[in-house]
Structure 1
Amino acid sequence: MKSKTKGLPHIYALVFIFMVIMALLTWVLPSGQYTRKDVTIGSSTKSVPVDGTYAQMDKIGEDGKDVRQGLFGLFVAPTEGVQKSADVVAFVLIVGGAFQIINSTGAIMTGMKAIVRKLGKFNILVIPISMILFGLGGTTFGMAEELLPFYMIFIPLLFSMGYDSMTTFLVVFLGSSVGVMASTVNPFSVIIAQGIAGIVGNPQLGFRCVQFIILEALAILFTVLYARRVKKNPESSITFATDMEWKKELVEQDAGKTDGTMTNRQKLVIVIFTVCFIIIIYNLVVNGWYMDEMCAVFLMMGIFSGIAGGLSMNEMACEFVNGMKDFVYAGLIIGISRGILCIAENGMIIDTILYSLVSVLRSVPLWFYTTAMYLVEVVFSIFVPTTSGVAALTMPVLAPLTEFLGFNPEGAVTCYQYACKLTLMLSPAAPVTVAGIAMCRLTFQQWWKTIWKFVLLMLAVTIGFAIISSRLPM
């Protein structure tokens, strides 16, 4: 169709550009390492740097291995990234296949039509209610890859209500991301950071709950205002052209599958779907489930739903393959984007970046320290696009430094959790972000153009929260 497009490159091209830049940095920046020690947080162990132990190292080691990443290292990185993200990629593909089996029964679409009919003129309430639930998932257990199935549910639902694909991305992704940003008991963000920093318990939990309420309310207000504008004038949507084509596809897929009345088989599919999700959420929070366990339940969900929906074994297999096709785009970009970090690790420049940024922090004026620490975390999150990875690298150094300067070390945790997630919301190197954008058929240019004002608001508010956190009594 369109042979030429203006603006940012395709997501895959953008990730490759980031990998090229990172490979070049391995030639420009000195290589170096901190001495590391293992720290146990809950049931997991993290290797963290020890402050004051950084030492530069030669680019070519005694074994003759050159850590600088050349052309071959650049093209090996995507494969290495996919291998290191194998559990997530497998999760995405299995979820895609399982959901296609469920979708082929017509239960989801019929159920959504019933919801829209019952809500009537109040159907916009779907947005705040859903965002609150996603936000709670983010603030409690760091809902991230678990979001992918919900895009496939909310896209046809919100289309049928007169909204666009960007509204879907805002409801699902922004709702959860703000929850992760304002983490209260999220083990992959605030808890792991406090554990590495040596902070016992969660001393600012009350304050963190207040932050979550304020930030999630702002996110809901922003999304509702955007959705109302799109519904009032559909052509004002930044995704209007692509959404028109997508809506045609959904109509064709739905043709003949449902007349709007839910059958007993479809009701049974909805029951299976609901029970399986309750099982997943409960075990995520209580038993620390991760990809393997969730994959198993999603696979059971798909097979049992197919049986309940009256599909034959061959029909389920064909639908499973078709579903995986739709998720390959999102699954592979998760793995390939991990290659950016692989290049930095192989070139041994991560610790050099950390050492340089901490050296700058030690010399800034005290009144500016918290804001400077926030900005340092932003920079570091660009190079290490995972919340737990940034925590493991920065907290052992920044938390003691913050306390040494007379501030509450919780301020370092607060800076980290906001700066890291806010950066990952915008970064083409962040796997969950690029996967969600791919699922909603958006471009980064469309996402940035939509969200930039909200990001500036979040930046100002969260820096304020970080300043308060660092100055509260210890």
Structure 2
Amino acid sequence: MSLQAETKKPLEQKSKFKMPDAYVLLFFVALLCAIATYFVPAGEFKRVTKGLITTTIPGSYHSVAQSPVGFVSFFTAIEQGMAAAAPIIFLILFTGGAIAILEKTGAINGLIYHVINKFRHRQLLFVCIVAALFSVLGTTGIIVNSVIGFIPIGLIVARSLKWDAVVGAAIIYLGAYAGFNATILSPSPLGISQKIAELPMFSGIGLRVAIYVCFLLATILYIYWYIKRLKRTDKGSVLGNDWFPSKALLLDEDASEESVSWTFRHKLILAVTALSLVGFLAGAFWLKWSDAEMTGMFIFIALAAGIIGGLRANDIASTFLAGCQQLVYGALIVGMARCVSVILEQGKLLDTIVNALAHLLQGQSPIFGAIGMYISSAALHFLISSGTGESVIFIPILAPLADLMHITRQVAVEAVMLGEGVVNCINPTSGVLMGVLAASGIPYVKWVRFMAPLAFIWFVIGLVFLIVGVGIHWGPH
């Protein structure tokens, strides 16, 4: 055999490796957690309910009988995860249905070629405006889970401006989560965490504003750097040559501006859509609307657009269902991610993990203690993807521990907020992240390639501010 043949064979074998599908990865994560329920000691904290908030009692951890997740329970946990994530799953599906009808009417094509074109030479300004707007909505808690519904808008803009799907999703999703991860006025989880730690609601806002500004600036600059990278080389995208993997937004690449109609009917459809989105934002702010109302809003948009666009009732139904079908893969993965928490809860391992993390922090210096809280919160968030869920379990343990370590409770709360924040956008058990990837068609592994450097930048920013908080005894206490 020639040397060329010998060297060619290993290369061919190597090229056959394929990254596991996201469902496969999550399945094995869930399986490992289920196996752990047989060997890791089970335990629980005692809990107390005050009003609508149930919190753990520090020092009350005790062992309980092992609660292993059996063969049948493991598979039913997947169904339970799907049921628990149902609001987000339906939001994703109905978003796809509404977008399909908007495309069918021709309104989206008209918008692309006759409105968004003016931003071609002012891309940095566009990124700044959109990211800043969504960051304000994120830091106040108005847009969190429902950011998924706005992703198709980002994809439409990205295709028009010759960006890839990553940029389209990032401007909206990372804009919102740069604000939410460095939250200033979000009632949940920040407000709840401060209440549990017996701090004045939204106290310490000065330093939090500085953290928020740094998170937002870092995000905008990172996205713009990536856009410049796309312009420098055809292979600058983490998506390779397939810049828009999602089949939900297949627009006509060969259409010219002159060939695309832009009628009064199109303008009316988009006006109704825009007013509906504004109405949801108002409802979220004043009436505390959430996923259910946004899902209903997309049903309304689909019906209104179809009627105004002159579609028959059967056409509206079939187009809506076809749009939903395009996002089934990504929608169901949200429930798959949620089943990991279901398994840990059934196996009574969450409190065991929290108790172990608290013991690791005891006896540390104030700075190392704050850093330990920060890292522990980030690690725990991979198991408890809900920020509020993590707070009601972890804050009651960390608050008295912070007193013993001469760390202010304000620092302890911020360590939890930032810890869960810096991993939010790479966490495979996050239903929101999986929903965003479902709506945009971006594979999880490729998203992590894009997101990991920014997550590290966020981590460093958080680390610096926590050290500052310890140094200035950030209070009030």
Identify whether the pair has TM-score above 0.5, normalized to the shorter chain. Answer: yes
Q: Aligned with 2:115: secondary structure? A: helix
Matched residue type, 1:361: L
Matched residue type, 2:55: V
Please tell me whether residue 15 in structure 1 is matched to residue 26 in structure 2.
yes
Aligned residues: CA RMSD? 2.3
Task: Report the equivalent of 2:328.
Answer: 328
Q: Deviation of residue 246 (structure 1)?
A: 6.1
Residues 211-236 of structure 1, C-alpha deviation per residue, up to 9 Å, x if partnerless? 11121011000100111110232222
1:288-437 equivalences under 5 Å are: 288-437=288-437
Please tell me whether the aligned partners of residues 48 and 396 of structure 1 are also in contact (alpha carbons under 8 angstroms): yes
Task: Report the equivalent of 1:172.
Answer: 172
Please tell me whether the aligned partners of residues 381 and 390 of structure 2 are also in contact (alpha carbons under 8 angstroms): yes
For structure 2, the 5+ residue unaligned runs are 1-14
Q: 2:35 aligns with which of 5, 16, 24?
A: 24
Q: Aligned with 1:472: secondary structure? A: coil
Q: Aligned with 2:359: secondary structure? A: helix
Task: Report the equivalent of 1:52.
Answer: 59
1:99-248 equivalences under 5 Å are: 99-141=99-141, 143-243=143-243
258 and 193 in structure 1: CA distance in 2 versus 1, 3 angstrom threshold: farther
For structure 1, the 5+ residue unaligned runs are 60-66
In structure 2, how many angstroms separate the alpha carbons of the residues matched to 1:194 and 1:7? 45
Q: Aligned with 2:289: secondary structure? A: coil
In structure 1, how many angstroms separate the alpha carbons of the residues matched to 2:246 and 2:202? 46
In structure 2, how many angstroms separate the alpha carbons of the residues matched to 1:124 and 1:84? 39
Aligned pairs, number: 460
Q: Aligned with 1:58: secondary structure? A: coil
Please tell me whether the aligned partners of residues 211 and 461 of structure 2 are also in contact (alpha carbons under 8 angstroms): no
Please tell me whether the aligned partners of residues 155 and 168 of structure 2 are also in contact (alpha carbons under 8 angstroms): yes
Superposition TM-score, scaled by structure 1 size: 0.91
Matched residue type, 1:302: A
Task: Report the equivalent of 1:62.
Answer: none
In structure 2, how many angstroms separate the alpha carbons of the residues matched to 1:245 and 1:193? 39
458 and 351 in structure 1: CA distance in 2 versus 1, 3 angstrom threshold: same
Please tell me whether the aligned partners of residues 408 and 474 of structure 2 are also in contact (alpha carbons under 8 angstroms): yes
In structure 2, how many angstroms separate the alpha carbons of the residues matched to 1:246 and 1:96? 11
In structure 2, how many angstroms separate the alpha carbons of the residues matched to 1:457 and 1:352? 31
286 and 247 in structure 1: CA distance in 2 versus 1, 3 angstrom threshold: closer
Q: Aligned with 2:53: secondary structure? A: strand
In structure 1, how many angstroms separate the alpha carbons of the residues matched to 2:199 and 2:212? 20
Please tell me whether the aligned partners of residues 110 and 258 of structure 1 are also in contact (alpha carbons under 8 angstroms): no
Task: Report the equivalent of 2:445.
Answer: 445
Please tell me whether the aligned partners of residues 159 and 247 of structure 1 are also in contact (alpha carbons under 8 angstroms): no
Among all aligned residue pairs of Structure 1 and Structure 2, give the percentage whose two residues are the same amino acid.
Answer: 23
Q: Deviation of residue 450 (structure 1)?
A: 2.1
87 and 240 in structure 1: CA distance in 2 versus 1, 3 angstrom threshold: same
Task: Report the equivalent of 2:49.
Answer: 38
Q: Aligned with 2:140: secondary structure? A: helix
**464-473 or 195-204, larger mean C-alpha shift:** 464-473
In structure 2, how many angstroms separate the alpha carbons of the residues matched to 1:211 and 1:172? 19
Q: Deviation of residue 331 (structure 1)?
A: 1.6
141 and 97 in structure 1: CA distance in 2 versus 1, 3 angstrom threshold: same
Matched residue type, 1:57: V
Q: Deviation of residue 247 (structure 1)?
A: 8.9
Q: Deviation of residue 189 (structure 1)?
A: 2.2
In structure 2, how many angstroms separate the alpha carbons of the residues matched to 1:244 and 1:203? 43
Please tell me whether the aligned partners of residues 92 and 435 of structure 2 are also in contact (alpha carbons under 8 angstroms): no
**143-152 or 354-363, larger mean C-alpha shift:** 143-152
Q: Aligned with 1:370: secondary structure? A: helix
Please tell me whether the aligned partners of residues 180 and 189 of structure 1 are also in contact (alpha carbons under 8 angstroms): no
In structure 2, how many angstroms separate the alpha carbons of the residues matched to 1:394 and 1:17? 26
